Each structure stands twice: as structure tokens, then as C-alpha cells.
Structure 1
């Protein structure tokens, strides 16, 4: 893991009852991914993840008020069922994009028959980190982790 900088980064971890391979399946199967990735009732569609360095990390979020938020990014690192790193600073093929919001580091550690799921959001400035925190990082990402835990546990 990269060095955590509290002025720039946000972090959350949870124990998920399912094994890392099952949690990874929830990331890599678009149908499953759509079920947990955003707090309900936000809808996730147009999922295009290519789990290889330089691959797409794209999706569309539709908020309850009808706001459509296309998200586009790039996969930087992949270790199946162990680690996934993505960023919106780059598009697929490492193509530079506009102003970045975050780089996400997701780690899956086998623990107590399940998975210690660690998520770190790296930001380029204190202002962007603060904006992400004020958007509800802990609550939003915490909700998605509860949804992920419920889904992954139901698959075992």
C-alpha cells in the first residue's frame, strides 16, 4: 500500500464474511457489481471494466433525482482477489484526462474465514479530499461495503 497521507487521503475498511475470491467475483461480474457499487437507490449501468493494466474502468451512475453521472477511468494494477487500483486521472490505454478526482486502491486480505476489505481514496489536494469527505465518503462507501458484504455472503 502507498503511504497514507491524512491531508490528501480517505480510508475505510470492513470485514466481509465472504472469501476474497467471492468478493472479487462481485467486482468482476457486471451484474453483481451493479447490485452493490453505489448506495441504493442509485443505479449503476454501462459497466465497462477491463481488469488489466491500462484497461477501462467506466460506469454510469443515475441518482434518484435523475442526474446521470458517467464515470470514466483506467485500471492501473490488478492482482485478482488481492488488489485493484483505478484512477479517473487517466482513461483506458493510460490516456490523460481532465482534472482528476481520485485514485482508488482496493485491497482484499484473507482474514477469519472472510475478507478484510481495505479501500483508500487518494486525492491530489486537500481541497479535493475535503470535498470527497463532505460528499459523504464514510457513509457512502460504508453503505456500499455493507451491500457488498450482504451480496458476497449470499453467494457462498
Structure 2
């Protein structure tokens, strides 16, 4: 995948978990709650309708405040690729303040390890810079660590 340095951020890790387990974690609300936001923040609600155009709605609790993020799935290749965005909500309704499109790529390296690539695509360089300043690498890195630790218990 070709990245645009002006608008894209990327995190790449090798997780000691099979790709199908990572996929299940990312696509099942009961699993997502265990890793989706960096601790001490938490995911308090998640509603998934897993198909292109289906909803991916989440509510986070950050420092006592709830933050709602509604979006849709754009592309799904089971066990390999998951693409979602907050640019639209269910029914392809444009969002008032879109932030990014996320692309997760999973490449099995062996039966117990997966190359995990998380890409955040932004509408412009300013949004990318804002996300980087918010702590994209540390935050998404913590999410990857939390995902790996949780997935290893399944």
C-alpha cells in the first residue's frame, strides 16, 4: 500500500497472536472493549454491523467524559483487512466533522504470529499533524500491546 507522508500515519508491529484471533478481536464488541482505547480510557459501548456500509459505532470514556464516534466499514477481507471511517455514518450519511479512515492489515507470519499494520488516513496534512500531536504512535502502540495481551488469553 502506498502511503502519503502528508496525510497518513502508520504503526507496524509483529504480534504473537494468529491473524484470525486478531480479526475476531477487532470485529466482536465483547472483545473490542478489552483493548480498543489506551488505558486508563475505556470503550463503554460498541455497535458493529460487519459488512461494507455497516455501522461501527463506539463510545469512549476519556477522563470522565463520553465521546461518541459513529462510522462505517468500507472494506472487509476476513482475517486480512479491515477498513473503517468516521467520514460517513450508517446509510452513507456524511459526518459533520470527519477525522480519519483506519486501515488494519493482518499478514500471518506463522501459525502464532501476525504482521499487524494500522494506518490512519486523514483528509489533510493539518488533521494528520493533529493526530500525531495527540499521540498516534504511543496511543495506537498501546492499543496494539493491549490487543496482543488480551488476544493471547483467548
TM-score bracket relative to the smaller structure = over 0.9
Normalising to structure 1: TM-score of the pair?
Answer: 0.94
Q: After superposition, what is the alpha-carbon deviation per residue over 1:19-52, rounded to whole angstroms, capped at 9, x for unaligned? A: 1111111112211110000111111022011110
The answer for the alignment partner of 1:92 in structure 2 is 90
The alpha-carbon deviation at position 99 of structure 1 amounts to 2.6
Give the counterpart of 1:68 among 66, 69, 82: 66
**RMSD over aligned Cα, in angstroms?**
1.0
Name the one with the larger helix percent: 1
Query: Following superposition, which runs of at least 4 residues in structure 1 exceed 2 angstroms of deviation?
Result: none
SS of 2:97 mapped into structure 1: coil
SS in 2 for 1:36: coil
Residue matched to 1:58: 57
Partner of 1:42 in structure 2?
41
Aligned twin of 1:125:
124
Unaligned runs of 5+ in 2: none
How far 1:73 moved relative to its partner?
A: 0.6
Q: Take 1:154 and 1:4, find their aligned partners in 2: how far apart are those partners?
A: 33
- Per the normalisation by structure 2, the TM-score is 0.95
Partner secondary structure for residue 54 of structure 2: coil
Once the two structures are superposed, residues 91-127 of structure 1 have per-residue CA deviations (whole angstroms, 9 ceiling, x without a partner) of 0122211131000001111013311111110001110
In the aligned structure 1, how far is the partner of 2:94 from the partner of 2:38?
Answer: 29
The number of residue pairs the alignment matches comes to: 153
